[in-house]
Structures are given as C-alpha cells and as structure tokens.
Chain A
Amino acid sequence: MTQRVPVVEKILNANDRLATDNRAKLDAAGVFALNFMASPGAGKTSLIEHTIQGLRGKLRLAVIDGDIATSLDADRAAAAGAQAVQINTGGECHLDAVMLHDALANLDLSTIDLLIVENVGNLICPASFQLGTHQSVLIASVPEGDDKPYKYPGMYRGVDAMVINKIDLLPYVTFNMEYFQRGVEILNPGVVNFPLSCRTGEGIDAWISWVDQQVKTIRAV
C-alpha cells in the first residue's frame, strides 16, 4: 500500500545550515568575508589584486580561490601579498558551504581582517549556494554586454554590491549603460555599484573605501 508522506523541505537546506556555521566561525574570529561572483574573464582576480594593493598596511587579507582545476588565480593572489587557499572543485561549477568550511580550516582566521572568496566563474550556479560570507559582490564587465541582468536574474537579484569592470572599453563596444542599469534596478533596487577599470585604475578608490568601510562597520557591531 502506498502512503503519501508530506516533506516540504528546501533542497538546499543542508547547505544553508552549514553556511550559517561558516558565518558564525567568521564572526567569532572578527573576519569580514566577501563572495566574488562573475562570469569567466570579468576580472575577479584583477579586482582582488587591486583590493590587496589598495588595503595593504590597513587590513590583513586572505583569499580563498575556487577553480575547477588550476591554482593560477590563487597564485596571483599570493603574489600580490595575501594568504591564499585554493579549492579545486573538480569540475563543479560553483563553491558550496562545505567547500568553504574545509577551506576555512586551512586558514589562521586570527591573522585575517578581510577574506575574499573567489567563486567559480559562472553567472548561474554560484547564485544558488549560500556560503556564509557577509556580502556577495557581482563583478560585471562591459564586454559581456548590457543584457546580462535580464538574462541572469538569479545572479543579479541576489548580490549586495556590484562592480562594473572594464569601463575603459565603453568607447569601443556596444554597451548601453542606461539599459544595463535599468535591469539592475529592476532586479536589485538600490544596490550599491562601482563602475571601474582594473586596467586604468579609474574608480578603484571608491571600491576600496567601500570595502574598508564594510569591514569597519561589521567590526563596530
């Protein structure tokens, strides 16, 4: 005889629970954590390099780098002067709370003020998995096109801050900033955003002060 059993349980419950644990661990150590998400080539690693340079002497930084196979990005973060831990996801398209949990075990959190988690380059999957970081940042870039908010609403809806990289290319590519920003505004009203160029350095200062301010705010609580 068949019997119907009501369940009503969120599929990602287990991940979300572990994300809460990660957050508690970070909070206990006084570490502020950002989750960087973007499509491949948008400039996540370049922005990390700039962030490390911009906060040198002010904050102690660590980077956890998600990559499907290589350690190229973690090597760049380490070269720029941060503690770096590599997570190879073995083909998985996103980081999840378990991976971050394991990576945190490889860092001495008492020596860190700011942790940047560089997610796998992908505009879809990382949006679904909470990690336990304090804020998530989407790095968009001009050459990707101005229709991306409309095409990847899940990603654009979920982030706390946004960077628009490669604005130095605006004169050379078709990118309607107004159309792009309208999509962002629909999906994520009032989200703080930073148009900048990692190549020329334009706009980087505003980004760096925002990060600095976020760390101070969380520490004051």
Chain B
Amino acid sequence: MHELSVTESILEIAVRHGQNSGAARITNLYLVIGQLSSIIDDSVQFYWDIVSKDTLAENAKLHFRRIPTQLRCLDCNQEFAPVKEDFACPECGSIRVKVSAGEEFFLEAIDIEKT
C-alpha cells in the first residue's frame, strides 16, 4: 500500500509540468504502468481524489495504460509473455530470461486548459 506516496509524486510531476506550460487547469493524466510494478489503479484513484483537491489538477481524470509483462529468452532469443507465474521460456525451457517490458511506471502526458 504505497499508493499514497506514489500518488503524491504523480501530482507533483503533473502540477510542475502544468505550471511550466501555463496551465489554468489540468484535465487529464495519462499514466503508463507495467504489470510488474506493484501499483493498484483503484488505490491511486482513491488517493488522487484526496491529494489533488485545491490544486491545478483537481478533478482531472486519470487514465491508466497497462503494459503486459514481456520476456526475452537469453538462449534462443524468443520473445514471450510469461504463462502464469513461471518465467521459463516456452520454446526451449531455458530459465535464463530478461524482462523486456512490464516494469514501466511513468506519467506519459497531461491535458491542460489555459483559460
């Protein structure tokens, strides 16, 4: 449950970029969250309504884009999505794998209004 501090960081980043762009209001936030980063959308939304009150981003809508986990086998180079919790390569059975996607956690863009 670290979504409170995470949500405060999201707000700080959004407001800073909003101010730099001369926003009167921030209306949308576009977040990218990899499946492997342990962040719960609902929980962020819950804290968002509280922490964004009386800021540039009050009432802004949060959009979450989830990136599924993608792995690459270091032995046969196969790209694959893990089956359940097992990260082994479905092609050759190797357990030498590298995460190629799924660890993202960033604010991609915001929508602002200037008047």
Contact = CB atoms under 8 A, between A and B. Distances in A.
A83 B44 CA distance: 37
A181 B92 CA distance: 19
A182 to B, nearest CB: 7
Residue of B18, B96, B106 most packed against chain A (CB within 10 A): B106
A94 to B, nearest CB: 6
B95 A182 contact: yes
A186 interface: yes
A125 B106 contact: no
A28 interface: no
Interface in A113-138: 124-125, 127-129
A186 B109 CA distance: 34
Interface in A141-172: 147, 150-151, 153-154, 157
Interface of A is mostly: mixed
Interface of B: 1-2, 4-6, 9-10, 12-14, 17-18, 21, 23, 27-28, 31, 36-38, 85-88, 95-97, 99, 105-115
Interface of A: 1-15, 92-94, 96, 124-125, 127-129, 147, 150-151, 153-154, 157, 182, 185-187, 189
19 contacts: A1-B114, A1-B115, A2-B28, A2-B112, A5-B18, A6-B108, A7-B110, A9-B13, A9-B17, A9-B106, A11-B105, A12-B6, A12-B105, A14-B9, A93-B2, A128-B2, A128-B37, A129-B2, A189-B96
